[in-house]
Structure 1
Amino acid sequence: MRLLETVAAHEQGAPAKQLARQTGLALPTTYHLLRTLVHEGYLRRDSGLFHLGDAAERLSRRVARQRRHSAVTETLAHWHGVVGAPLYCARYRDGEIDVVGVADSQEHPAVDEWADFRSTGHAHAIGQCLLSQLDEEDRRDHLARHPVWSLTPYTVEDESALLRRLAAGRHGEPVIERQEYALGTVCAAIPIRIGTIVAAVAVSLPAHQADHLLPTARRLQAEITREPAALALSFSI
């Protein structure tokens, strides 16, 4: 790892002797490790200089994703403790709904994902919230790939009705959904826009606590507003 880190510090590449000197490794050991790393794809050699290879780039992206997931999880866990309800975080990426974190507990369990969240964005609050932040062309493109269908008797009836609802929503306001995705559950989602990132954080409650949904969503929104850097950092890692 020390050798990889040293190579990464040289954007224009570095020769073996310089890498040996900077890492404190014996030159024969350095040559052996460099040959192995080149063979495995972690490094590449060009005109006597060593650069990071494709395998190292893939590893770096995986590490970044793990750090991002950990940061989102920690942030959601903190907010879960504040609002006392299960929380969900998702973003719209590459034309799909991507759930990046969930925080719940035995006392406040999350909704069972009985139907794929990615293809049922029309029915749950977090999906509707993400779709509401897209322009009309992107909304229609998403719904063409993931058509509206009834998950419960309360699910929005068709694409036209959904588009009207999304267009009528007030900017920055929580998106409310009552038993459209799962019977016995109500949900509210808070829109989040970080640069070009389209995201949302949602909270769910049992249907018999529906009167508490909007106050709980407001409390969550206040937490997000109070600590806007928390999710911004999580998404930017």
Structure 2
Amino acid sequence: MSVPTRGHQATLGQGGPGPFGVLRRALRLLEAVDRHPHGATLAELGRDLSLPSAAVQGLAEELETEGYLHCVDGIWSLGGTLALLGRQNREQLIRAKLHHKLAELRDQLGAAVYFSRYQDGELCVEAVSAADHAPAVDEWVDFRATAHASAIGKCLLSQLDHDGRRDHLARHPIARLTARTITDPEQLMHRLERQPATVPVLDIQEYALGTVCAAVPVTAGSTVGCLATSMPVERIHQLKGAAELLAAQAAPLMLAMAV
């Protein structure tokens, strides 16, 4: 992701649609605030970004909620969260914010929520938020060996290049887990290559009978990640709405990881 250098004029409208656009617009706003060492009003930020102050206000207030901006008497400045990110506890802070976000999503969906990355050639489920009313899927076969069948795995693989996918499948041969599992490598490769970045990846009982899943990309810098949920097949009619909520909430996670 390219970020304009300090002092470069960039408007919030240049962010584009979807969660990636929200992230870019948030970064543009943070950069604009950073150019005012003594703080700035919404009107001043609006002028910097070639937008009316009302258009900046909503995003500024969201960033204030997350601690990235701070407002006193109408003057906006960078918040304490950014200062903390530069200290030794940066990773702990990010992980705490991640678990908090996942717990919020879990309660909104009434379903388990997962954050995963693809690191060093392997799928890694880094955080799971589950509860009695929102149980996690039973990992009856190691997730690392079943990326071809899970929504998480397919979402991560779809973000790799062609050679990266081939390498992964060569190290983790495709196995049939249910009658719905794709076992033809070429068919799987074709689907992964045609997967639009803005469309959620679904698993309809491919990994485990009785369970459906959805995953959306979470990409910041060099991170290849995803946000996912799982629920009983009886709730399949809720899966599309759940995926849309995940996509909408991916941007705050991306921002926390990118800043």
TM-score, normalisation: structure 2: 0.62
- Give 1:187 shift: 0.5
C-alpha separation between the residues in 2 aligned to 1:162 and 1:148?
A: 10
- Give 1:236 shift: 5.6
Cα offsets for 1:73-102 (capped at 9, x unmatched)? 222111112222111110111111111100
Letter paired with 1:120:
T
Alignment of 1:161 onto 2:187: yes
Q: Summarize the alignment of residues 108-127 of structure 1 with structure 2, pairs less than 5 Å apart.
A: 108-127=134-153
User: Is contact 1:173–1:191 with CA below 8 Å preserved after alignment?
Assistant: no
C-alpha separation between the residues in 1 aligned to 2:236 and 2:252?
A: 30
Instruction: Note the residue ranges of structure 1 that are not aligned, 5 or more in a row.
Output: 1-59
Residues 232 and 95 from structure 1, CA distance in 2 versus in 1: closer, same or farther, beyond 3 angstroms?
farther
Alignment of 1:208 onto 2:231: no
Residue matched to 2:222: 196
Tell which deviates more after alignment, 167-176 or 139-148: 167-176
Aligned mate of 2:124, from 88, 95, 98: 98
Aligned mate of 1:143, from 135, 144, 169: 169
Alignment of 1:230 onto 2:253: yes
Residue matched to 1:21: none
Alignment of 1:84 onto 2:107: no
User: Is contact 1:72–1:100 with CA below 8 Å preserved after alignment?
Assistant: no
C-alpha separation between the residues in 1 aligned to 2:117 and 2:126?
A: 7
User: Is contact 1:125–1:187 with CA below 8 Å preserved after alignment?
Assistant: yes
C-alpha separation between the residues in 2 aligned to 1:174 and 1:191?
A: 8
Aligned residue for 2:144, secondary structure, equals helix
C-alpha separation between the residues in 2 aligned to 1:68 and 1:116?
A: 26
Cα offsets for 1:30-57 (capped at 9, x unmatched)? xxxxxxxxxxxxxxxxxxxxxxxxxxxx
Instruction: Note the residue ranges of structure 2 that are not aligned, 5 or more in a row.
Output: 1-86
Residues 114 and 136 from structure 1, CA distance in 2 versus in 1: closer, same or farther, beyond 3 angstroms?
same
Aligned residue for 1:110, secondary structure, equals coil
Q: Which has the larger radius of gyration?
A: 1
C-alpha separation between the residues in 1 aligned to 2:91 and 2:176?
A: 34
Letter paired with 2:245:
R
Aligned length: 173
Query: Share of identical aligned residues, percent?
Result: 43
User: Is contact 1:83–1:220 with CA below 8 Å preserved after alignment?
Assistant: no
Residues 102 and 231 from structure 1, CA distance in 2 versus in 1: closer, same or farther, beyond 3 angstroms?
farther
Q: Summarize the alignment of residues 178-197 of structure 1 with structure 2, pairs less than 5 Å apart.
A: 178-197=204-223
User: Is contact 1:124–1:177 with CA below 8 Å preserved after alignment?
Assistant: yes
Cα offsets for 1:156-206 (capped at 9, x unmatched)? 122111111112212221001100111100101011111111100011111
C-alpha separation between the residues in 1 aligned to 2:171 and 2:185?
A: 12
